[in-house]
Structure 1
């Protein structure tokens, strides 16, 4: 009995520091966001006016917020699908095919993750530059000759989101490719040999062996990627367009930031933060339910 009690207190002592830190830096701020969203508050003064759910009612009628939410969902959907597809494809090619310099390609594809988001955003802002110094417009002008009208990638409301999506995909592919390569390298080779003897081609092997065997890793990374995309979209937008032109690239987090620090509507911004939290939790729950399947045992 004494040993059980000692073990119990030992476990509590080991977990207590982590739980205390979690409560202080995660749980308390989250609850505070919900509480502050029910007040009208500028953020800098002590004058708080309780307004209940008024901030949320205003939010549902705010067309700028609705557009920012639509932009965020669009970015999540496009970036997630394209990034995951390319990362899995590249990982499969580098693991399954005998390509010289595999380690070199791993390093090259992983380089964007070494760079900060600010650096990557600045690089792509230079690439999208509508002047002759911009790489894309410079190449297109050489191919099309004189009279070529430059494309304002970050200044055209119709294509600005696609420009941001391109930068986000380039930044993320290498990281997830390396993760999938690690998972694929643990798949027993005899499974592929048996499938080859049965007449299955490489495409069939990919969908029948590779994907099912790394499915748990895909589920985990998919959930993580969706949540991180919400956060990264704010950084890319903040550096590349600052929400422009005319709010065409605004996301929910960039709109929350502008409401909190530009319009001094801290309570309203916290209402947006509450919606972002619910959105993140809802997407995570939906992804886990949709991708749920029985584990494959070897």
Structure 2
């Protein structure tokens, strides 16, 4: 004990200059590690958003000899005062909320079910993991072609053929994409099929991080599978579930590709499937009104941010600071 005290007492503290160097190196490492992500966020998010704000104050048209004309807040006032523009804007926003209200809970629940399934220790489970993840690696254009064949309105459509087979031909073919009653539902089914595997992988990582000792302790307390799921699994992946729900919400409001690609066939009911991103693109490029499209994009981003903040406030992650 005396030797230990002497050895510790004999140690000399590093000089102040060396300590300052260590502190400065540690303070530099954090920003240096975060710099690539911050640069990418600035290039692909902050700068385009600031550019959209600037363009929304101008009357700007592509391939026009006229110089952009500063009109102030006119694009925003037209967005809420013009009956036609306001009606289309609110209708597209309503379609976005309808899509998100269905996709977020259904896709999150389905992803959790698939994650629980592939987390089991059964033979051939790697094959099932590959099959469930495979739709995510397919190009979205290919996915749209496949689902266009499934939802084809004639007798040769795969879904109509299956219904006719099981009903003995008593139910005729239905135009799944062209009918206002089923067009949004068809896009919802396609989107969930194509994207659920991404959420499944995230939730699978959360499930594998839950300590196995908790399940053993629950088994010793004679807790059944359902009780273990409610009191061990769900609390263990609570933060992961919240993250997946937030991510799915943002992706739901970003809906554009599915509507656009399926609409190329000319059989989609655009009025019932038109989303905000679709209206922004068509207004800016098809109607050649860049300023109005930029104003729509700015207002829509503000709405999505408010929705994400409200959702974040309602469901807090464990360990997060209010």
Q: What TM-score comes out, normalization by structure 2 length?
A: 0.83
Alpha-carbon distance between aligned partners in 2 of 1:113 and 1:34, rounded to the nearest angstrom: 33
Aligned with residue 239 of structure 1, among 246, 261, 272: 261
**What does 1:173-184 correspond to in 2, within 5 Å?**
173-184=196-207
Query: How far is the alpha carbon of 1:164 from its aligned partner?
Result: 0.1
> Which position in structure 2 is the counterpart of 1:47?
67
Q: CA deviation at 1:295?
A: 4.1
Q: Which moved further from structure 2: 218-227 or 45-54?
A: 45-54
Say which of 104, 107, 110 aligns to 1:80. 104
Rounded to whole Å, the distance in 1 between the matches of 2:202 and 2:172 is: 42
Bigger mean CA deviation after superposition, 131-140 or 58-67: 58-67
Assess if the C-alpha contact under 8 Å between 2:57 and 2:71 holds in 1: yes
In structure 2, the partner of 1:221 is: 244
C-alpha RMSD of matched pairs (Å): 2.4
Deviates more, 1:70-79 or 1:190-199: 190-199
1:126-275 map, 5 Å: 126-146=149-169, 148-231=171-254, 233-241=255-263, 244-275=268-299
Q: Which moved more, 1:274-283 or 1:164-173?
A: 274-283
The 10-residue stretch of structure 1 (146-155 or 41-50) with the greater mean CA deviation from structure 2: 41-50
Q: Distance in 2 between matches of 1:195 and 1:14?
A: 41
Report how many residues are paired.
294
Decide which moves more: 5-14 or 29-38.
5-14
Distance 1:31 1:89 in 2: 41
- Hey, what's the Cα distance between the residues in 2 that align with 1:9 and 1:292? 31
Sort the Cα spacing of 1:113 and 1:293 in 2 relative to 1 into closer, same or farther, 3 A: closer
Which of 50, 56, 62 is 2:76 aligned to? 56
Q: Work out the CA distance in 2 between the residues paired with 1:190 and 1:17.
A: 39
Is the 8 Å Cα contact of residues 263 and 270 (structure 2) preserved in structure 1? no
Partner SS for 1:109 = helix
Q: Residue 8 of structure 1: CA displacement? A: 5.3
| In 2, Cα distance between equivalents of 1:105 and 1:68 | 37
* Residue 117 (1) aligns with residue 137 (2): no
Q: 1:219 Cα shift?
A: 2.0
1:37 matched to which residue of 2? 56
Cα separation, 2, equivalents of 1:226 and 1:133: 35
How far is the alpha carbon of 1:221 from its aligned partner? 2.2
SS in 2 for 1:166: helix
Q: Which runs of 5+ in 1 are unaligned?
A: none
Distance 1:5 1:111, change over 3 A: closer
Alpha-carbon distance in structure 2 between the residues aligned to 1:23 and 1:11: 18
Counterpart CA distance in 1 for 2:32 and 2:233 is 42
Structure 2: 5+ residue stretches without partners: 1-16
Deviations 1:6-56, CA, capped at 9 Å, x for gaps = 665676666656545543443221111112112222134352222322222
Change (3 A) 1:41 1:93: same
Do the aligned partners of 2:180 and 2:269 also contact (CA within 8 Å) in 1? yes
Q: CA deviation at 1:249?
A: 0.8
Contact 1:187 1:213 in 2 (8 A): yes
Counterpart CA distance in 2 for 1:5 and 1:198 is 52
For residues 198-224 of structure 1, what are the alpha-carbon distances to aligned partners after superposition, in whole Å with 9 as ceiling and x for unaligned? 232211211111111111112222222
